[in-house]
Homo-oligomer: A and B are copies of this chain.
Amino acid sequence: MHVLVLGGDGFCGWPTALYLSDRGNDVTIIDNLSRRAIDIELEVESLTPIRPLSERLRVWKETSGRQIEFINLDLATEYDRLVDVLTRLRPDAIVHFAEQRAAPYSMRTPRTKRYTIDNNARSTHNLLAAMVATGTDAALVHLGTMGVYGYGWSGSAPIPEGYLTVKVPTPDGDLEREILHPANPGSVYHLTKTIDQLMFAFYAANDQLRITDLHQGIVWGTQTPQTIRDERLVNRFDYDGDYGTVLNRFLMQAAIGHPLTVHGTGGQTRAFIHIRDTVRCVEIALLNPPAAGSKPMVFNQVTETYRVRDLAKLVSNLTGVPVANLPNPRREDEENDLVVRNDRFLALGLEPTTLSEGLLDECTHVAARYRDRVDLGKIVCRSVWRAGMATAEDLLTELPDESRPVAEPAAAN
């Protein structure tokens, strides 16, 4: 089928585009290269040396024999061009990754808060409006976030996949109602994904669009079977305080001997998924869209949950690098439990990549290999949730030499 991958140059979008192409689909990437522009703004780079998109696509064609088209288009501001694209390409499916996706960046300044709302809300809504206007009957798969649910909200009940059955007291007794899980976003970024949900619900009901929302956990890992085929296809690896996700940050920190930066007590329990599983989940979702007229289908795109301090301990044990507890720049509970349902993807055949099998591999092959590219001034988180909150000083100002072994298996006992 013909699939548009919106945001196909990003951390999840790029490996998804390659995977879907490799699986025999015709893939068109739509991206405005904003993620690369934000790298420039933050004066940081992916730990892995990513290539310009046109080079990536050329190498992919050489490697796989398959062509991926690229259209440089800003979803938030170029609605008319989007309409032209949908009219011309008549895609069978659309994967929508085209949003600003870092919570710390979304809280950094008034400008980045506003950019995150403006960009994400308008991109999603322009897409929905354009699909209706052009009669595009494509399955739409959107990357949401586990963060829409909040943490610790529902006691011992597992977080359901999108919808919660509640009892509403009425004069005639309790009424059972299935509701969209109440929104408890922890940042402006997460807020945008709760806004997306409302837009999806409306357009699914009013215009019978077929929409799937993937509430993804924290992605870790870098490479997929496709991105690993040539170094010029390598995926992004963000390690900085704004865009780096917690486990990848630990892996990079371990690789250079930087203390593992845990915010607060590290009692936050979070859900995780490997990038290899992300791309598989997207394909499963594309192949199993809801029926027209149904409410949006929601999958929880997670495979494991860990407490952040346990993750840090795991990496510390494997590598001998100590843990540093830093002030938490976020407003969140210090400790929470988390039980998440992910029955749907498992029922549809997902075989999860677990931390225990994938961790070391990732650590040695990626983080250690590119350790010299690290900017030590970008590791500590500096984006705070409210003005005046404390942040830490840089913990390292000079890259240690490579004499100390990294990811030494002996430490794993």
- A residues adjacent to B (C-beta < 8 A): 79, 83, 110, 113-114, 117-118, 121-122, 125-126, 129-130, 132-133, 153-157, 164-172, 174-175, 177, 179-180, 182-183, 185, 188, 191, 194-195, 198-199, 201-202, 205-207, 331, 385-387
Contacts and interface: CB of A to CB of B under 8 A. Distances in A.
A227 to B, nearest CB: 35
Nearest to A114: B129
A168 B166 contact: yes
Contact of A110 (B132, B155, B386): B132
Contact of A172 (B129, B156, B174, B387): B156
A174 B198 CA distance: 26
Nearest to A207: B386
A169 to B, nearest CB: 7
B386 A206 contact: yes
Given A126-B114, A198-B191, A206-B386, A157 B133 contact: no
A73 B158 CA distance: 47
Given A122-B118, A185-B198, A191-B202, A154 B167 contact: no
A167 B166 contact: yes
A331 B204 CA distance: 13
Contacts of A153: 177
Contacts of A170: 154-157
A110 B122 contact: no
Nearest to A166: B166
Contacts of A156: 170-172
B198 A194 contact: yes
Across the A-B interface, the 6 shortest Cβ-Cβ residue pairs: A157-B170, A166-B166, A167-B167, A110-B133, A179-B182, A117-B125
A114 B82 CA distance: 13
Contact of A385 (B110, B206, B385): B206
Nearest to A79: B114
Nearest to A170: B157
Contacts of A180: 182-183
A182 B257 CA distance: 48
B155 A168 contact: yes
A355 B182 CA distance: 37
B157 A169 contact: yes
A272 B114 CA distance: 35
B177 A202 contact: no
